[in-house]
Chains A and B, each alone.
Chain A
Amino acid sequence: AQSVAQPEDQVNVAEGNPLTVKCTYSVSGNPYLFWYVQYPNRGLQFLLKYITGDNLVKGSYGFEAEFNKSQTSFHLKKPSALVSDSALYFCAVRDDGGSQGNLIFGKGTKLSVKP
């Protein structure tokens, strides 16, 4: 069965410092991995995806994520956090046999960036 784990409910970072939001996954086939961000009372916004190719993926708003097949991880990173990055972040996965709309989401990690 497919699954996603986000081990941290909350991550606290000072503005200007680097941030990492962790994600590990389990799929039966090749993984398609995604990161989404959710602001209060809003839907999810797409940040970046890994399908194949380079293990370091660059996305929107200066975010990037590193795919590690041996550790089955896809951690979200940003070199310098902004207060406006404070939001709820979701990692999601589907395998290459799944339907396009069927994403498995983690429980989310609340990112809090303090000035």
Chain B
Amino acid sequence: ETGVTQSPTHLIKTRGQQVTLRCSSQSGHNTVSWYQQALGQGPQFIFQYYREEENGRGNFPPRFSGLQFPNYSSELNVNALELDDSALYLCASSPGQGQNSPLHFGNGTRLTVT
């Protein structure tokens, strides 16, 4: 069973640039969520995708957008990067929409904005 994989592991961007982060969900999982974890903080929910549609969003501006593909992999896009966007971005997958299922996390992408 393949777990959640994220790429790249590290990324350095300049303020104002755009970035795309990628995530492959665990085998058999059709729901993907993205989280932002700032240094010293707990993860914060960005949004969730199920069957290629966004079906839940946290308190993040529209410049944070995403996609989910037919194979359930996902992308997180961030436009007009700001210094405060520097964080660990975590992708998590889960099977279906059942409330009982725990999230399975990848190791994250460390984004640094200079």
Q: How many residues of A contact B (CB 8 A)?
A: 27
Q: Within 8 Å CB of B48, what residues of A? A: 99-102
Task: For A49, list chain B residues within 8 Å (CB).
Answer: 100, 102
For B103, list chain A residues within 8 Å (CB): 44, 46, 100-101, 103
The distance in angstroms between the C-alpha atoms of A36 and B105, with both chains bound, is 10
> Which of A32, A41, A106 has the most B CB atoms < 10 Å from its CB?
A41
* Contact, CB under 8 Å: B98 / A100: yes
- Residue B81 CB within 8 A of the other chain: no
| Residue pair B99, A44 in contact (C-beta under 8 Å) | no
Contact across chains for B99 and A51 when beta carbons are under 8 A apart: yes
Determine the distance from Cα of A109 to Cα of B107 in the docked complex, in whole angstroms: 19
A75 contacts partner chain B, Cβ-Cβ < 8 Å: no
Chain B interface main SS type: loop
Inter-chain contact A101/B31, CB cutoff 8 Å: yes
Contacts of A72 in B (CB 8 A): none
Contact of B102 among A34, A42, A98, A104 (CB under 8 A): A34
Of the candidates B31, B97, B102, the one whose C-beta lies within 8 Å of that of A46 is B102
Known interface pairs A101-B103, A102-B48, A103-B103. Does A43 touch B42 (Cβ–Cβ under 8 Å)? Answer: no
- Complex Cα spacing A51 to B98, Å: 11
User: Is the CB of B87 closer than 8 A to any CB of chain A?
Assistant: no
Please report the C-alpha to C-alpha distance between residue A3 and residue B4 in the assembled complex, in whole angstroms: 27
Residues 92-111 of A contacting B (Cβ, < 8 Å) = 92, 94, 96, 98-108
Q: Which residues of A are interface residues toward B (Cβ below 8 A)?
A: 4, 32, 34, 36, 41-46, 49, 51, 90, 92, 94, 96, 98-108
Can you report 15 residue pairs joining A to B where beta carbons are below 8 Å apart?
A32-B99, A32-B100, A34-B102, A43-B105, A43-B107, A43-B108, A46-B102, A51-B99, A90-B42, A92-B42, A94-B99, A99-B97, A101-B56, A107-B41, A108-B41
